[in-house]
Structure 1
Amino acid sequence: MSHIKINAPIEPGFDRILSESALNFIAALHDRFSDRLGKLLGVRGRQAQSIRNGTFPRFTPDTAGIRADTTWKVAGATGAPGLEDRRVELTGPVSEPEVVAALNSRAKVWLADLEDATSPTWSNIIGGQLNLFNAIRGNLPGVNNREQPTIGLRPRGWHLPEKHLIHVDDKGSQSETSGAMVDFGLYFFHNARRLVDNGSGPYFYLPKLESFREARLWNEIFVFAQDYMGIPQGTIRATAHIETITAVFQMEEILWELRDHCAGLNAAGWDYLFSLVKNFRNSPKWVLPDREHLTMGLPLLQAFADRLVSTCHRRGAHAIGTMGNLMTTHPDKEFVASELVKMREDKAREASRGFDGTWVAEPGLVDDALEVFDAALGNKPNQLDNRRVDAHACAEHMLDVSGLDTTVTEEGVRLNIRVAIGYMNEWLGGNGNVALENLLEDASTAEISRSQIWQWIRHSVTLDNGKQVTRDLVERYMGEELAVIERHPADHYTEAVEIFRKSALGEDFPEFLTMPAYTDHLVDRVSKGAVFAA
């Protein structure tokens, strides 16, 4: 019989999460679905190579029937208490202080994030599960909000492993587990029944999907998990992130595959920009400007948003807007006030385009976002009746970079260096939600930063100061930026620079910054002197 071996310390309280019965569920998920996942990741690699070779994604003729059929709908919020009104969703890590702050906020939904906003240390992953376990049972000190946000969990993406939990099959062969299955499995096993009893449900956000076949795998996992736990089919609801260029052309198919468990789609703008840079990095046509100019106001991103809203509403799914990541604790209050005006304008544009809700990265942003969506929605819980029949975003619109100002500045290069290295320094220390350069940065913005550097070097971009971007120039700028950074004994800048060099300055381009960083630097970063369990 297969089982899970724990290759990490058992810290106080972890035994509650890592119970034998919970680990048996993880083993069952691995037995049933790991081969399928491996094949899908292989398809990803071949598809990415095809795009780099010049075959741009398009709508799939094989699934035209799904898109043409006007009769089907997704489950949506029907029978999913707490998901009817999602006008403001707060996202963030799952450390105890941040869980308390999130649950005390006025957000309608809280996305407990084990992916981009969490550094996947052993303590963070299992400690986060323990914090959620306690919060759902009302056992987390400091939570005093009688109208707490509905909780949804974002597990890690399909590509990320969990190297501290090892699957051992009945022949003794060992393999690492899937981070996504571990995160989903532990949360669902421990909390699904309690959430239903509390008048809510087990709700999830599905990151980094690249095809409808990956959504199909999630749906089959949901069916299996509900049967395993004796919970009625359709209890689970999931919101899929549309954050890759391939998923944009399969939104309808993703909804179809998840339809009995689907609540909506989220327009994940920052990750989508990373996907554009990553997939089209070999094309000089797709050299994008400084990151600060990559906003949802760009025509190709407006087309992305319009198609997402119209697709969702045609199928009865919620359309959730992109992230506001202003840091309201910034010491310059005039700066915060001016940036809040911009954020409110962005949220008003989202509401006017038909989005049913939006995202913010900090509790201090919730009230401003609520005011905007309250004004737009009034007493209605959503805008599903706005079918956006005026939206005609086709493939050409979503791939249109004509007229885009491609100016790259010296400060843009320096900013990307600071963000990429500064973020990885914090990430290696266990912090995945980092205050940098006046914003709250997560893995997605670090990915954009290092990807743009790689792309600018490859295409020998000329800066506004007349200099050409080369590895030597980036090395010089990096040395100058590092020379003025205040250092602390617990910093990890040496490792962060090594990761940056490999991911931004090398000939090869790692598909995800966090994969080699996790394997090479984070796996063994566990507490010393604790007990290991088999």
Structure 2
Amino acid sequence: MSEAAATSEARLKLMRSAPRGCEHILSEESLAFLEALVDRFGPRIESLLARRQERQRRFDRGERPDFLPDTRSIREGDWRVAPIPPALRDRRVEITGPVDRKMIINGLNSGARVFMADFEDASTPTWENLIQGQRNILDATRGQIDFSDDSGKTYRLKDDPALLIVRVRGLHLPEAHITLDGRAIPGALLDFALHFFHNAHALHEQGRGPYYYLPKLEHHDEARMWADVFRFAEERFGFANGTIKATVLIETLPAVFQMHEILHAMRHHIVALNCGRWDYIFSYAKVFHADPQRVLPDRHSIGMTQPFLRSYSRLLIDTCHRRGALAMGGMAAQIPVRGDPDRHAAALDKVRADKEREAADGHDGTWVAHPGLIETAMAIFDRALDGPNQLDRLLPDLQVDQARLLEHPEGRITEEGLRDNIAVGVQYIAAWLAGRGCVPINHLMEDAATAEIARAQLWQWIHHGATTTDGERITADFVRTVLDEIGPDLRREAERSGLPAGCLEEATALFTELCLDEDFADFLTLKAYERVIARG
């Protein structure tokens, strides 16, 4: 334990010192608030995670996600969420990214309405990334953030920056650098506690928060837990009930059947639901990983025009607008293709078609991964919106039932798709292990969801004996052969991108393990985090 760690008698202990310049982030007062949160809500999170495991066991035995009969009165009731604050009413284009200093400045200066600073899928939870990220957000909240790169170029905030919203980690992710009574604390509570403690009053005075994104919820009881966390924090710091506002990502298959219930459980604090579609595809594979009839085709063929995804997004719009909440669209992961006008135009055409569909359906805003897409997305939503949003748009004739939401996507399994999954999965995990959670690969900005889909598909294909369109049976040996064949290309790319020695080999071993193990791992980031902690 470091010299800065708490005394041996303390229940909450730091296993690492604060990074240089971040000592104020881990103040005695902020840690006292964190301890109170973990003491009160840590056991509840453990119980909620245990219930996830039990639901998955039922899915493995053939049960299917469905609308809950005991909450019918909520779905059919006449109620609405609390009014949306002025700062959150116009979110027509949002950009997301990790919490490093340069990215926060660029995101806030991007011209998007909102920048989501992401402690989850776009950030590797190294101690330095997490605590330095909190310092960066604190400085940005006060307008005191700047950055100089190795070439001497300086980055500073412009006037009228984007609204900053923080995405905390999912409930499943632990934080091993801090323990309570000898056990790792929930990472989500650390992210929330430090951000709220240091920024809530400043943001409230500015009329710009505190606002959060909540990822990977699977049940309305998890939403209710977050509502209780928010109320606990509000009471402790003297805020009115409902001061904290949140957007919940609907990115798990069980959650799509409980959107009314999630909105109701958080009705004092929630302002929107978001279509986290890439994680949603992974969740489909995860829920049905044991079912040989639910093997997914190539991931690039699973677009938003597939019936199960189209139904999901339209049901989200209708549900949100009936309850007075915004309905946010999904991520456009494309990035500009410099030096190749034809490929660049093709990428923008894909973005344009995606955003036109979202705007026409009734979404109130959308996500992009790169500033180069903001102008395209903004123009589409500017044309579609008469005001700040489309809250008055309902889909009265929408018919979406369980069968429609679970309809299996059509598509082929190709060797090209298999090779792409292996290459992208290994490259992303290697970057993640090196501390980079958001990575440009093949002109797409990838985060953890990409690698999750890739390894989940390979697991399904191997364990259920899938064959490619060329008649090649996908086996463990076949995957190892492909890994050997593309190994030299992956090593060259690792060298070009400056990955530390050993990251590629470690990533290859982990990716292989995730694909070949008899048991399907819940999240690759849990296994990858063990390796991050082992590195120190």
For the superposition of Structure 1 and Structure 2, which TM-score range results when normalised by the shorter chain?
Answer: over 0.9
Does 1:412 pair with 2:417? yes
Q: Report percent identity of matched pairs.
A: 44
Distance in 1, Cα, partners of 2:390 & 2:10: 48
Distance in 1, Cα, partners of 2:173 & 2:83: 28
Q: Which amino acid aligns with 1:439?
A: L
**Aligned residues of 1:209 and 1:241 also touching (Cα < 8 A):** yes
Deviations 1:203-241 (A, max 9, x none): 001101000000000000000001111112111000111
Match of 2:158 in 1: 145
Distance in 2, Cα, partners of 1:390 & 1:147: 41
Distance in 2, Cα, partners of 1:148 & 1:136: 10
Does 1:510 pair with 2:521? yes
Specify which structure has the bigger relative contact order, considering alpha-carbon pairs within 8 angstroms and separated by 6 or more residues. 1
Does 1:392 pair with 2:399? yes
Q: Which amino acid aligns with 2:481?
A: R
Find 1:120's aligned residue among 122, 125, 128. Answer: 125
Distance in 1, Cα, partners of 2:339 & 2:507: 27
Aligned-partner SS, 2:194? helix
Does 1:242 pair with 2:247? no
Deviations 1:1-58 (A, max 9, x none): 9542111132212211111100111100011111111111000000011011110011
Match of 2:94 in 1: 89
TM-score (norm 2): 0.94
- The range that moved more, 38-47 or 195-204, is 195-204
Distance in 2, Cα, partners of 1:140 & 1:377: 33
Match of 1:490 in 2: 500
Q: Which amino acid aligns with 1:145?
A: K
Match of 1:531 in 2: none
Deviations 1:407-444 (A, max 9, x none): 11001000000111000000000000011122111000
**Aligned residues of 1:156 and 1:179 also touching (Cα < 8 A):** yes
**Structure 2: stretches of 5+ with no match in the other structure:** 1-8, 147-154
Q: Which amino acid aligns with 2:430?
A: N
Find 1:322's aligned residue among 305, 315, 330. Answer: 330
- For 1:199-348, list aligned pairs within 5 A: 199-328=207-336, 330-348=338-356
Does 1:159 pair with 2:172? yes
Match of 2:149 in 1: none
Match of 2:374 in 1: 366
Distance in 2, Cα, partners of 1:451 & 1:236: 35
Question: How large is the Cα RMSD of the aligned pairs?
Answer: 1.3
**Aligned residues of 2:301 and 2:411 also touching (Cα < 8 A):** no
Deviations 1:320-376 (A, max 9, x none): 000001112544332122110111110000011110000111122111110110011
Aligned-partner SS, 2:431? helix
Q: Rate the CA distance shift 1:76–1:471 in 2: closer, same or farther, 3 A.
A: farther
TM-score (norm 1): 0.94
> Which 4+ stretches in 1 moved above 2 angstroms?
1-4, 142-145, 329-334
**Aligned residues of 1:3 and 1:23 also touching (Cα < 8 A):** no
**Structure 1: stretches of 5+ with no match in the other structure:** 168-172, 527-534
**Aligned residues of 2:97 and 2:122 also touching (Cα < 8 A):** yes
Distance in 1, Cα, partners of 2:124 & 2:461: 28
Match of 1:4 in 2: 12
Find 2:45's aligned residue among 37, 40, 64. Answer: 37
Distance in 1, Cα, partners of 2:367 & 2:474: 35
Deviations 1:107-130 (A, max 9, x none): 111111000000111111111111
